[in-house]
């Protein structure tokens, strides 16, 4: 019996999403701690996520699937409650839904929405793990430059090496930036993303806005003509916000 879990987590307390062989109480991943809680309730099937998030990256609505034993059929709310007792406060299951037997959290996903949060006000220590402190920023210019990434591109020059053998072509349906109360949000809605792609794109965007590189140089890198920026913004400001599936 296959179910879909929607969960959120504070990435600053985990060493990424993907399970590691050397996990212990001081070195925990999202998958590792979730599977440990499931096993305590008699559920020994592995979980599959919509995608991996790196150490320090947060999730608002990550999606995973797993196959439940029949004795948990229709006991989804009870299961959710019991799991959250052991997972909180840094990991929380929002919903558990039955789904089709062929549903796959990763391969059934159509689009993924990520947001990167910036803060250009007076320093706030409470944001240290949840938004990147930056100098005063022209958000209109940031939005304009960010739209350079929109469309179908080969992002070979905007990925961290060692990301596997996946294709470099990706489609970004919507890209931009806006102010939300006291924060600045950069958003990326795409079919999928390469390893550290968003953090590298955001880093390049800020360099353009602070006149450290020219907009033409960013576009040249996007066209794979030359590399001008390969550093990453910290993971603390990045959030996996939503996964879209066919209804």
Which residues are part of the catalytic machinery? 54
Task: Please state, in angstroms and rounded to a whole number, the distance separating the CA atoms of residues 38 and 44.
Answer: 7
Q: Where are the alpha helices (DSSP H) in 115-191?
A: 139-146
- For the chain, what is the total number of helices (H) and then of strands (E)? 5, 10
Any binding-site annotation on 210? no
Nearest to 129 by CA among 139, 138, 119, 142: 119
Nearest to 218 by CA among 153, 163, 135: 153
> Do you find a cis peptide bond into 89, omega within 30 degrees of 0?
yes
Tokens linked to 13 = 């307390």
Q: Which residues pair with 64 in a beta bridge?
A: 5, 49
Task: Please state, in angstroms and rounded to a whole number, the distance separating the CA atoms of residues 241 and 113.
Answer: 5
H or E element, residue 77: helix 76-87
The answer for residues whose C-beta is within 8 angstroms of residue 73's C-beta and 6 or more apart is: 1
Tokens linked to 77 = 């709310």
Instruction: List the binding residues for substrate.
Output: 114
Instruction: List the binding residues.
Output: 114
């Amino acid at each position: 019996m296959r179910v879909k879990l929607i969960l959120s987590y504070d990435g600053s307390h985990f060493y990424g999403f993907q399970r590691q062989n050397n996990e212990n109480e001081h070195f925990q991943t999202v998958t590792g701690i979730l599977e440990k809680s499931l096993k305590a309730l008699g559920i020994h099937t592995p979980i599959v996520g919509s995608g991996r998030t790196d150490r320090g990256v947060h999730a608002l609505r990550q999606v995973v699937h797993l196959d439940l034993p029949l004795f948990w059929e229709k006991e989804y709310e009870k299961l959710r409650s019991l799991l959250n007792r052991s997972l909180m406060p840094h990991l929380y299951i929002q919903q558990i839904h039955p789904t089709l037997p062929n549903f796959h959290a990763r391969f059934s996903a159509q689009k993924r929405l990520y947001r990167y949060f910036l803060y250009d006000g007076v320093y706030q220590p409470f944001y240290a793990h949840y938004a990147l402190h930056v100098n005063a920023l022209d958000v209109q210019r940031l939005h304009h430059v960010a739209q350079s990434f929109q469309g179908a591109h080969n992002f070979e020059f905007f990925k961290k090496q060692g990301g596997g053998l996946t294709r470099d072509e990706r489609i970004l349906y919507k890209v931009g930036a806006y102010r939300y109360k006291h924060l600045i949000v950069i958003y990326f809605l795409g079919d999928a993303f390469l390893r550290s792609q968003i953090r590298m794109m955001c880093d390049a965007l800020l360099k353009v806005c602070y006149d450290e590189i020219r907009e033409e140089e960013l576009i040249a890198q996007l066209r794979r003509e030359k590399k001008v920026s390969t550093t990453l913004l910290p993971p603390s400001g990045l959030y996996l916000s939503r996964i879209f599936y066919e209804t």
